[in-house]
Structure 1
Amino acid sequence: MKAHYDSEVDALAINWGNNSIAESDEVEPGVILDYDAQGNVVGIEILNASKKINNLGKIATATSKS
């Protein structure tokens, strides 16, 4: 699993596996799921992440170490 927080656009992206993204769907405002060719969820992107996730600083720090 890989996670990346981009503070310039306030977006958190979490991807697991090495599958290519075939399709994306915004399941609610600012929450986008990524799917592979078989329809499996392989990632999520959260826009305006600092407003939606508590302790985002801890997540960003932890993911930058991995």
Structure 2
Amino acid sequence: MKIIYDPEVDVLRILFQDIPISDSDEDETGIIFDFDDQGNVIGLEVLDASKRIDDPQTVSYMIARPTTH
């Protein structure tokens, strides 16, 4: 997975797979979904990212651990 922020155009891209994009579809909220040739979502683009995300230049992530019973 790759996360790329381009401050020049204020777009945050999240790529789940590094394969060619066959199609894209923008919803009304300014999110673009990128699809492979099978119709699977392989990435997202967040337009006007600085208006939607607290700090698009800072990334943190967490791996959830399975709960044990």
Moved over 4 A (4+): none
Take 2:22 and 2:31, find their aligned partners in 1: how far apart are those partners?
A: 17
Unaligned runs of 5+ in 2: 61-69
What's the TM-score, normalizing by structure 2?
0.77
What's the TM-score, normalizing by structure 1?
0.80
- Greater fraction helix: 1
- Greater fraction strand: 1
Q: CA RMSD in A?
A: 1.4
Unaligned runs of 5+ in 1: none
Equivalenced residue count is 60
Pair member with larger Rg: 2
What is the aligned-residue identity percentage?
48
| Higher RCO (CA-CA < 8 Å; seq separation 6+) | 1
